[in-house]
Structure 1
Amino acid sequence: MIIVLKAEATKQDADEILAKIENAGLKPLYMPGTERTVLGALGDERILQGLNITAHPMVDDVKPILASYKRVSRELYPSDSVVHIGNVPFGGEHFSIIGGPCAVEGLDEFRQSASAAVKAGAVALRGGAFKPRTSPYSFQGGGLDALRVMKEIKQELGVPAVTEVMDAADIDMICQHVDALQIGARNMQNFNLLKAVGRTETPVILKRGISATIEETLLAAEYIVDAGNPNVILCERGIRTFETATRNTLDLNAVAFMKRKSHLPVIVDPSHGTGIRELVGPMAKAAVAVGADGVIIEVHHEPKNALSDGQQSLYPEQFAQLMKELDAFITAAGRQTTKRKVA
């Protein structure tokens, strides 16, 4: 339920209504605005109807939240949310670019790939320390040693970093080394993991599952926000369809739809979305056109020798060229390319 207070309503009026909501066993939300204060009440709709909130003299309007996802819906928060990973903003007028290799393979290897990505314009680093792989015989990541490498290089380059978390038991350890947690496509509906990252304040990049609907993706985000962490960035990374020409089908209309339905920032992963190096650039440009707030792209200094996803990783010179070409698209979309802040 959304409760809009009258312009003359005071904080005391809001507190009275919030207390009534909480005493009924519901979850109260307080959202002061520049012109009006908006309150929210989440819980059993039968209890909500019995509260008779409209009887309060300072209540101007009461309306239900129709979406099954409440906190991430634009019905509750009509303005765009801006989520920061370190000092890098995602959402609003910003378009931010994350780059780096699929996996952290070693100190020298990660330094070369990360340095190339940052030099070309990436304002945050990606890299996998724990890798969920379809085959048990594939490279699974370097674990804690890889996290230590990420921390050293991100501090050396002065940019934040994101890596995937697969197990709730690893969250605290990972948060000590990087600035954001990624929930991969395979774990999008691992609800215990979603609730666990929701109990942190660390930003979360939530990737859409390979067979997930848009509503299921937004409900997964709801788990994280409802657990207490509002710092969620949605990521479209392609879904599994009947098409076999590409690794996945990059569903860009989902980006426009999620931006319409949710206030959360949305980024696109054209590397996993296509699985083909030559398609990453065109789909990154298309992501700008449909309203994405950023892209996350795999960059490797020697893709042919990469331990994972070499076929979709850009060479440093390809990434640098794409960054130059993206600027025109970002400007045409009325956005600003986020630049690295040098201390």
Structure 2
Amino acid sequence: MIIQLEKNIDKTQKEKLFDKLTALKIDARLIKTNFREYIVGIPSGEFDLREIGNMPGIADIHRVSDSYKMVSRKWKLNNTVIDLGDGITIGNGELAIMAGPCAIESEEQIISIVNHLKKNNIRIMRGGVYKPRSSPYSFRGLGIEGLKLFHKHCSENGIKVITEVMQVSQVEPMLDYVDIFQVGARNSQNFSLLDVLGKTDKPVMIKRGISGTIDELLYSAEYVFSGGNEKIMLCERGIRTFERATRNTLDLSAIPILKDKTHLPVIVDPSHGVGIRNYVPPMALAGVMSGADGVIMEIHETPEKAFSDGPQSLYYPQAEKLYRQLRETKKLRDHF
């Protein structure tokens, strides 16, 4: 059960509400988010919803059978829209395109990609400054100094920054230089990190775990929401299966399922989903047709020289062609 409180509810009304919930043997938890207050209630038996719904100070009340309650569409039918400022939104019916390198490598590289994105009216740049690598000897990012350069050039050009945070200790130092925190696949069940991100006011994009189920992804989002942050989006980035023809198996069926189960925006990542440059464009287009609110993709001026993930990064001309195709595909989807 989810109880949405009136914004002007007073202390006495709130105390009476909790007394009523206790009398009805409903385990109740107050959640304060960026926007308002809710109570999540877990009843131990049957009760009449009207006994609570008619009390003063309540804006709305819903029965929600899903264990992930706050991110469920069963109580919130309208899609969540994430406002990044400067006219940039995600989840409002427009297609969000996020593009950039796997890793931030140098200031010169940042400037090159920013100029490319401006030319193509792409308003969100991806790029890692902390890189979770399978091998400890691989390039692991430029850290906070790289992020400061990344933010400087993007903010000067009206472009928003999405980058991965790997551990709790990184959140606070990164806060002023990030527009969207990305939780990578390896950290999708790092509940300590999710708890801390729930206490920030910055949007969070959670990638599906390497072998994670759809429900597990929704539980991860519930951690962030229950911590107080409603600005959440989900990302299908491929899962590990027995197939070895691609880096991962991009589960496009997850996109319409997530759109049905949750009110949160859903993003598709074809770069990690297949890991092979020539397969990225068709999977990106298929992701849009599947209902994705946005696409996050890897690009590089010279992928063969990239410090990481070169084989799945698009050359600029390939990316420019794909941007046009993505926008046309979104128009086609709107006709259905």
Fold in common (TM above 0.5): yes
Tell me which amino acid in the other structure corresponds to 1:169: S
**Alignment of 1:54 onto 2:53:** no
**Displaced runs of 4 or more, over 6 A:** 10-17, 59-62
Contact 1:97 1:121 in 2 (8 A): no
Letter in 2 for 1:78: L
Judging changes above 3 Å, is the alpha-carbon distance between structure 1 residues 98 and 62 closer, same or farther for their aligned structure 2 residues?
Answer: closer
Identify the range of structure 1 (20-29 vs 173-182) with the bigger mean alpha-carbon deviation. 20-29
Aligned residue type for 1:294: G
Unaligned segments of structure 2, at least 5 residues:
none
Any idea what SS the aligned residue of 2:246 has? coil
Q: Name 1:250's counterpart in structure 2.
A: 250
Post-superposition Cα deviations, 1:118-172, rounded to whole Å, max 9, x if no partner, equal: 3223210001000000000000000012111111210232111111001111111
Contact 1:121 1:323 in 2 (8 A): no
Residue 298 of structure 1 contacts residue 314 of structure 1 at CA under 8 Å; is this kept in 2? yes
Q: Deviations along 1:96-119, whole A, 9 cap, x unmatched?
A: 100111100010012112321332
Partner of 1:285: 285
TM-score w.r.t. the length of structure 1 is: 0.86
Q: Choose the corresponding residue for 1:26, options 25, 28, 37.
A: 28
Q: How does 1:104-183 map to 2 (within 5 A)?
A: 104-183=104-183
Check conservation: 1:40, 1:76, Cα contact below 8 A.
no
Secondary structure of the corresponding residue to residue 321 of structure 2 = helix
- The 1:118–1:241 alpha-carbon spacing in structure 2 relative to 1, beyond 3 Å, is farther
% same residue: 42
Determine the C-alpha separation between the residues in 1 that align with 2:97 and 2:53. 48
What is the aligned residue count?
A: 323
Instruction: Give the CA deviation at 1:277.
Output: 0.6
Give the alignment's Cα RMSD to 1 decimal.
2.8
2:76 & 2:197 partners in 1: Cα distance?
22
Describe how 1:190-209 pairs up with structure 2 within 5 A. 190-209=190-209
Deviation at 1:42, TM superposition (A): 1.3
Residue type of the partner of 1:71?
Answer: M
Q: What TM-score does the superposition give when structure 2 sets the normalisation length? A: 0.88
Other-structure match for 1:340? none
Q: CA–CA distance in 2 between the matches of 1:131 and 1:74?
A: 33
Q: Indicate whether 1:98 and 2:98 are aligned.
A: yes
Shift in Å at residue 196 of structure 1?
0.5
Aligned to 2:333: 333
Q: Give unmatched runs, 5+ long, in structure 1.
A: 32-38, 336-343
The DSSP-based 3-state class of the residue aligned with 1:201 is coil
CA distance in 2, matches of 1:29, 1:238: 32
* 1:18-65 deviation digits (Å, cap 9, x = unpaired): 54443446235799xxxxxxx96414322x756x55236837997531
